[in-house]
């Protein structure tokens, strides 16, 4: 066992003494040491309950003959960090999480790992760590939050962000907004739509690193704790068979993950995180591959923010196995791809689509192509990403004048001040991985537009990114970013922006000579941050088109 290096032999007496200070007994030194990386904290609603999930996973490990040892992992709540300086510190934690787990695991010689994430960057950060360390590993998330309810209709975090815009437009009173605060987020769990956290937890099922139900069993259900216990027992079997993440995270797994992504209409952030996870395995997952999978994979679900259903509705309809069973009818999945429990097809045993309103049959999808699309053109030579399943049909093709802002805050103030008119294309730049730094999410601007009933009349493009809760013609990850001299940094108010999502195009009506003249005169803005972790991050981070991994 790997852990023998810290517990066996005469020379390890000091080490055993320290273990005994933790309460270990001699019999435990004969058993595998299973690390449990758990992102429990009291600041993230999706993580407040992870100690109970970790305890259940530890029970499973002990039942199967292992010794569980928990250690903490950081996590930022994107909702709380939104629309202020804190959002610069969200994406950047993905690398911190992967690096810190690597340090803990290598320093303490665990034999195998259980990863317990739930929200946003924590899931991909843990996936990156699992791939890098390549120890037998299984994931179990904390599960989604239940939707809030008003007049029998579901509420998600999107609802209250958009309500802010409605108040700004005079369509809702501040008293009504205050009432929404009390009911929108009813308890623990990752926010209840197909936002980034739930997207990544569902995708982890498709990658084959988690048991069925990982992405959809609500946080408050005892079924979630039973899943954690099964995960604890499973990791011991995975250790015995020496099944490691790189045996599972092959091209086959990533193609399955992309297919599920397209069927569900996941967050655009998956286009950042899946390439970053693939990077740890040596597999190149780029935007061209994303488009190839999108071209042949139908969009079967319209979950919030694209539609009215919440994650609990997806679970009741049969969850990820039911979605995958629909895709399997058209042979869009590799059912023989390896998984921690055998092969991926095993997860579909007994799967039934129980609600064709929530999961469309593959024969009658919402669209014949997937939920995400990568765009290219003279405005995004390296690519940009849009959640096309959440775009109003009228905005799939749009041409309008640029309204250019160098910060998210300036754009948000203009929106709330009534300065944006139907037909405009809002451009928010210098918010990319390097320029932000940290590639802020733009949920506040997109939600304000939706609350003002402008989301089907106004487009927004940015070298930053969007929350999975955003909807509308919101095009992010524009690469190269403004801070690297990308064309988005050369735009001026009034430039004609041409968006054609179906043709996968994003252009500005400027000839090459004019772009070259502007490029020659361009000077970058001074760095927004000059010291600390963000400054180091800005020096090392790659393009969004490459997953914003550190060089």
The tokens for 433 are 């991985």
For 53, residues 6+ apart whose C-beta sits below 8 A from its C-beta are 38, 116, 140, 142, 143, 224, 225, 228
Both tokens assigned to 257 = 């993950």
Q: How far apart are CA 234 and CA 421, in angstroms?
A: 56
* 540: Cα separation from own chain's centroid: 21
Q: Phi then psi for 269, rounded to 5 degrees?
A: -65, -20
Tokens of 346: 């095993």
Maximum distance among all Cα pairs of the chain, rounded to whole angstroms: 76
Residue 313 near residue 323, CB atoms below 8 Å: no
Is 543 an annotated catalytic residue? no
The Cα angle at residue 293 between residues 134 and 549, in degrees rounded to 5: 45
Give SS3 for 321.
Answer: helix
Cα separation, 391 vs 356, in Å, equals 22
Point out which residues pair with 334 in neighbouring strands.
Answer: none
* Alpha-helical regions (H) of 335-424: 408-416
What the block records as the tokens of 82 is 């939104």
Q: Check 90, 467, 470, 543 and give the catalytic one.
A: 467
Closest CA to 494 of 509, 479, 482, 483: 509
Question: Which residues does the annotation mark as catalytic?
Answer: 467
């Amino acid at each position: 066992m790997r852990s023998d290096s810290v517990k066996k032999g005469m020379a390890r007496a000091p080490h055993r003494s320290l273990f005994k200070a933790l309460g270990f007994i001699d019999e435990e030194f004969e058993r595998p040491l299973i690390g449990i990386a758990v992102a429990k904290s009291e600041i993230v609603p999706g993580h407040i309950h992870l100690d109970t999930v970790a305890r259940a996973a530890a029970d499973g490990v002990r039942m199967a003959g292992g010794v569980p040892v928990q250690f903490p992992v950081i996590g930022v709540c994107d909702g709380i960090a939104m629309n202020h300086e804190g959002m610069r510190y969200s994406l950047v934690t993905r690398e911190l999480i992967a690096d810190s787990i690597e340090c803990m695991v290598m320093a303490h010689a665990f034999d195998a790992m259980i990863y317990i994430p739930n929200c946003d960057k924590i899931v991909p950060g843990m996936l990156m760590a699992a791939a890098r360390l390549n120890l037998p590993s299984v994931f179990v998330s904390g599960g989604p939050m239940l939707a809030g309810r008003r007049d029998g209709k579901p509420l998600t975090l999107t609802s209250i962000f958009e309500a802010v815009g409605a108040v700004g437009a005079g369509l809702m009173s501040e008293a009504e907004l205050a009432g929404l605060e009390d009911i929108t987020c009813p308890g623990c769990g990752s926010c209840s739509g197909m936002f980034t956290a739930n997207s990544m937890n569902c995708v982890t099922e498709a990658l084959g690193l988690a048991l069925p139900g990982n992405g959809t069993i609500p946080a408050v259900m005892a079924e979630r704790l039973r899943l954690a216990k099964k995960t604890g027992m499973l990791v011991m079997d995975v250790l015995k068979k020496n099944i490691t993440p790189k045996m599972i995270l092959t091209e086959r797994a990533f193609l399955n993950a992309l297919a599920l992504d397209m069927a569900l209409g996941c967050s655009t952030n998956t286009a950042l995180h899946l390439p970053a996870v693939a990077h740890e395995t040596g597999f190149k997952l780029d935007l061209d591959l994303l488009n190839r999978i999108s071209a042949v994979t139908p969009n079967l679900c319209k979950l919030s923010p694209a539609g009215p259903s919440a994650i609990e509705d997806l679970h009741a309809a049969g969850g990820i196995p039911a979605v995958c069973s629909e895709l399997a009818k058209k042979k869009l999945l590799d059912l023989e791809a390896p998984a921690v429990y055998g092969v991926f097809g095993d997860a579909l045993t007994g799967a039934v689509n129980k609600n064709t309103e929530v999961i469309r049959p593959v024969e009658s999808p919402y669209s014949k192509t997937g939920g995400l699309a990568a765009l290219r053109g003279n405005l995004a030579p390296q690519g940009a990403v849009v959640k096309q399943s959440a775009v109003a049909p009228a905005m799939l093709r749009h041409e309008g004048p640029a309204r250019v802002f160098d910060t998210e805050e300036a754009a948000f103030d203009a929106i709330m001040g009534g300065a944006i008119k139907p037909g405009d294309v809002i451009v928010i730049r210098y918010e990319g991985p390097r320029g932000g730094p940290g590639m802020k999410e733009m949920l506040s601007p997109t939600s304000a537009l939706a609350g003002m009933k402008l989301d089907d009349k106004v487009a927004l493009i940015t070298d930053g990114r969007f929350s999975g809760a955003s909807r509308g013609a919101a095009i992010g990850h524009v690469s190269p970013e403004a801070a690297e001299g990308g064309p988005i940094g050369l735009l001026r108010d009034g430039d004609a922006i041409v968006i054609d999502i179906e043709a996968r195009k994003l252009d500005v009506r400027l000839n090459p000579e004019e772009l070259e003249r502007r490029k020659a005169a361009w000077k970058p803005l001074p760095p927004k941050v000059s010291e600390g972790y963000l400054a180091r991050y800005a020096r090392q981070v790659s393009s969004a088109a490459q997953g914003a991994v550190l060089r």
